[in-house]
Amino acid sequence: MTIDVQKHEDTMSTSAPSTKAPHGDLSGGPQPAGRVGGGLFDPKQLIASFPDALRKLDPRVMIKSPVMFVVLVGSVVTTVLAVKNPGDWFGWAITAWLWLTTIFANLAEAVAEGRGKAQADTLRKAKTDTVARRLTKDGKGEEEVPGTELRVGDLVVCEAGDVIPGDGDVVEGVASVDESAITGESAPVIRESGGDRCAVTGGTKVLSDRIVVRITTKPGETFIDRMINLVEGAARQKTPNEIALNILLSSLTIVFLLAVVTLKPFAIYAGADQQTSLIVLAALLVCLIPTTIGALLSAIGIAGMDRLVQRNVLAMSGRAVEAAGDVSTLLLDKTGTITLGNRQAAEFVPVRGTTEAEVADAAQLSSLADETPEGRSVVVLAKEKYGLRERHQGELAHATWIEFTAQTRMSGVDVDGRKIRKGATGSVVAWVKEQGGTVAEDAQALTDRISEAGGTPLLVAVDDDKGARVLGVIHLKDVVKEGMRERFDELRRMGIKTIMITGDNPLTAKAIAEEAGVDDFLAEATPEDKMALIKREQAGGKLVAMTGDGTNDAPALAQADVGVAMNTGTSAAKEAGNMVDLDSNPTKLIEIVEIGKQLLITRGALTTFSIANDVAKYFAIIPAMFAVAYPSLDRLNIMGLASPESAILSAVVFNALIIVALVPLALKGVRYRPSSADSMLRRNLAVYGLGGLVAPFIGIKLIDMLLTLISGIG
């Protein structure tokens, strides 16, 4: 038998789960199968989205956005007036740019939706009409039926090469499954019965072995069907924050509508009736109401969900994405989230009278046939720290390998007249005494010290010509992932409290919590404990997020404001959560919070910019309208615009073009930097408030100069 230490080391290096997108990088991460390439303004995507933008001119669609509905009505009114007076070039120019404003607004939403549709088209390719091998009711035979005829509770057999016909749970067997059609990852995953990794998805392919799957969804309601509906935006509902902002925008629109209507009688009284024609009033209304944010609001929400899809996270609703941005408490499972999930050998501790090298040699020999992550880590540590190289076949040809069992709780090897054992403290001590040996006095103290530090002690013993005796202790440690403390520090700066949830005893939990830098921990947690903790946090007015993958996590996932279920988890967990992580990487919850905050910040930034824009456009149009009747108002014409017609037309043109200019920002999102609410507000006002004031002055003046140069207006 040949045991290759290098093989153990290579396997060890890939056994730990990895974070695929570095912290803070909101543009990285794995791409799902449906991710769309190209830039934000890909010409093909614009052309493909343009028909959808035209279809959205339907008043029944436009009424959902009151601001843009007013712009549509204004466009229709100016069109009628322009037709009545076909020689009025000014009326036609205003009309054309009002229609472009409406279309540009619809184009922003259509582009955002188009990205989802492109992803959905790719997902549809993963759907195949499969023939299922359904077990008969007596369980003794099989029958072939179309996958569309499967019902909840049916048992189907899948072997190597078969496409799984529907969503379900593995109830028998274990197999390697290719899920690249969903996750975009080429590496196969293991699905097995009786655990938290039993869920399988219709459309994925079995690569090895045989499994029996119990169908858990009806045809047309599979996970891929839900993904298609979600990325197309069909199931997207407006969030409370978005609804509140719509109410605000509608209120501002009504206020400005009343203000503009009252200008007509005022202009008649002042003798400036010609400067306040219906076309001019329509242009004024469109420029003063918050058309910029009204046009981009829907695109911002869709883009937020799209950014999650790009990171292989499916949000079941826009509400979940927005809630992620307001999360104040984060519940994180210890194993696989904060720690690597597999205990690693950290050190060899000899008892008195023994050296570390002796313990390392015996520990490595006893672990060469141990294929568990812990066993592989012992081999690697012995090689890296003590230079113990691979053992050759000649040396171990007559070795007898003792496999670990739940009964003996030991493993080891009998070779060259030596018996070496490693395992749980009680089991190894009992074995040494059975061999007639003695246990070193300090062995118990060493194991107690490791346990109190949150580690797991494994005793190493040998029986040779010197008799049976304990050599020392292997310190197994649940290793905290690199960079976790820094990430938790960053969350703390964001005002988010982190709580580690674990089934470990309080001593172990405390040690890991202190090393990782979390704010609090819940040890020996049961499903009821998790629920109670979430309810306590929510009772204090906090929004709570958590991850989970098992059926026992389902109640807590359903209770949490943001429940992220792992794709490798059970169907119950995926049904309970409002997000599903296709990569099953629990640390991605931190990125989800960042994306949620990015969505809220983007919406706030563009709202600030839009309102500031309106203030600047006021100084462009009002002085131009009434300067004839009240020459003193010309002092407010600080931009020095050429004429009333040029001022009004320049403002309308700028109003349309600024929507197009801001579409990339709405889709990409404002970059998020962890900071306090006060500093974010100051930055928002300084960048987007001041920018919203300055940009129109520059833009409108440049357009005015261009119009004057081209047509000689003024």
pLDDT score, position 73:
92
**pLDDT band at 402, cuts 50/70/90?**
confident
Strands (E), 256-317: 313-315
Nearest-angstrom CA–CA distance, 595 and 621: 39
For the chain, the C-alpha Rg in angstroms (whole number) is 34
**What percent of the chain clears pLDDT 90, i.e. is strictly above it?**
9
> Is residue 437 predicted with pLDDT exceeding 80?
yes
Provide the mean pLDDT of the chain. Answer: 78
Q: Is 405 annotated as a binding residue?
A: yes
pLDDT digits (tens, 9 = 90+) for 291-337: 888 888 878 877 787 788 778 888 876 678 888 888 889 898 777 67
pTM equals: 0.63
pLDDT digits (tens, 9 = 90+) for 174-228: 888 887 656 555 567 788 877 667 888 887 888 888 899 998 887 766 666 766 6
User: CA-CA distances (angstroms) from residue 423 to 350, 360, 381, 406, 455?
Assistant: 15, 14, 17, 11, 14
Q: Is 104 annotated as a binding residue?
A: no
Is 10 noted as a catalytic residue in this protein? no
Longest dimension (CA), the chain: 118
Q: Is 25 annotated as a binding residue?
A: no
Nearest-angstrom CA–CA distance, 581 and 589: 9
In sign, the C-alpha dihedral spanning 575, 576, 580, 583 is negative
Q: Is 597 annotated as a binding residue?
A: no
pLDDT score, position 60:
87
Q: Is 408 annotated as a binding residue?
A: yes
Shortest CA distance to 484 belongs to which of 517, 513, 519, 511?
Answer: 517
In the set 178, 306, 333, 614, the catalytic residue is 333
SS3 233: coil
Q: Is 463 annotated as a binding residue?
A: no
